[in-house]
Amino acid sequence: MSKITREDALNYHSSGRPGKIEVIPTKPHSSQRDLSLAYSPGVADPCLAIQENPEDAYKYTAKGNLVAVMSNGTAVLGLGDIGAVQGKPVMEGKGLLFKIFADVDVFDIEIDRKDVEGFIEVAKAIAPTFGGINLEDIKAPECFEIETRLKAELDIPVFHDDQHGTAIISGAGLINALELVDKKIEELKVVVNGAGASAISCAKLYISLGIKPENVFMLDSKGVLNTRREGLNKYKMEFVRDTDAETLEDAMKGADVFLGLSVADVLTPEMLKAMKRDPIVFAMANPNPEISYEKAIAARDDIIFATGRSDYPNQVNNVLGFPFIFRGALDVRATSINEEMKIAAVRALAEMTKTDVPEVVNLSLIHI
């Protein structure tokens, strides 16, 4: 695939009808009778039925197949806090992916509230519309409290994809990469560059998969989370380690795995050369990775290298997970997406890469 330019991207989004999603009626609407059933007076009867039994909202409305993609624009891709409406193209893109891959309908909801209580208030107020909520591009540590509170206070699935989607997909990639290099997960030294929502969630899931906590070294913008650091929030404190390492260069010495969820161009060829044999490098800063594909491949011929981009080989991208996780949750009317479901998704994705692609999937992709 050819490189995507700024002009390509802007033209794609502005050509024809601006944006990427629309609402399409699902019932006949060509006659006066159709319209009388769709709205007044016919619409009153399903309203009354739902009043008698609120669960009938799943029978008479689109609630059961409708997900809210909610964001306040405080952590958009690798662009940072750019604002709610400024992040709308991402949320619309999420809606497009939900639809084409899992036939899940989406309303993108950009909430202009940076405070936790304000965001939660808005989310809870509109939650009755939806069968599930996908939280997106909300900065840490606020995102942790928002998700925890909404999961506890709502009876529909709430899933912060930046955290758990990234963890699930990269976890599946890690399992298969370890098979290729013949390394044991409990013996790995892992360097996580980034200490935001995605990084912390990935590290936690990796530990659930078998990596020893003491072998996970995390860095934020100020360096390694070690015992000399002060003023860290409670989420970062979980990953403080007693180590002499201060910088990324220090941490990379003897590492088996690098997980990048930070910013572009912080990883050098020299750092890659300091890693152990057959290094596994997931450089997933978005839109540009911590080191380019070209530089990484040139630095080591034994490297397993992946990014979040579709124009490089070995893409580790959340689209492999979130549409189908929500599809399953909606279909069984799940009230939450729990840890067991996430681990099951990791194992299933890892195994799926080793099977033939069904013909029905190949045919469907032709028409996308």
User: Looking at 63, 94, 151, 236, which residue is catalytic?
Assistant: 94
293 is annotated as an active-site residue: no
39 is annotated as an active-site residue: yes
User: Looking at 3, 12, 27, 39, which residue is catalytic?
Assistant: 39
For every residue of the chain, which 3-state class applies, written as one string?
CCCCCHHHHHHHHHCCCCCCCCCCCCCCCCCHHHHHHHCCCCCHHHHHHHHHCHHHHHHHCHHHHEEEEEECCCCECCCECCCCHHHHHHHHHHHHHHHHHHCCEEEEEECCCCCHHHHHHHHHHHHHHCCEEEECCCCCCHHHHHHHHHHHHCCCCEEEHHHHHHHHHHHHHHHHHHHHHCCCHHHCCEEEECCCHHHHHHHHHHHHHCCCHHHEEEEECCEECECCCCCCCHHHHCCCECCCCCCHHHHHCCCCEEEECCCCCCCCHHHHHCCCCCCEEEECCCCCCCCCHHHHHHHCCCCEEEECCCCCCCECCHHHCHHHHHHHHHHCCCCCCCHHHHHHHHHHHHHHCCCCCCHHHHHHHHCC
Give me the active site residues, please. 39, 94
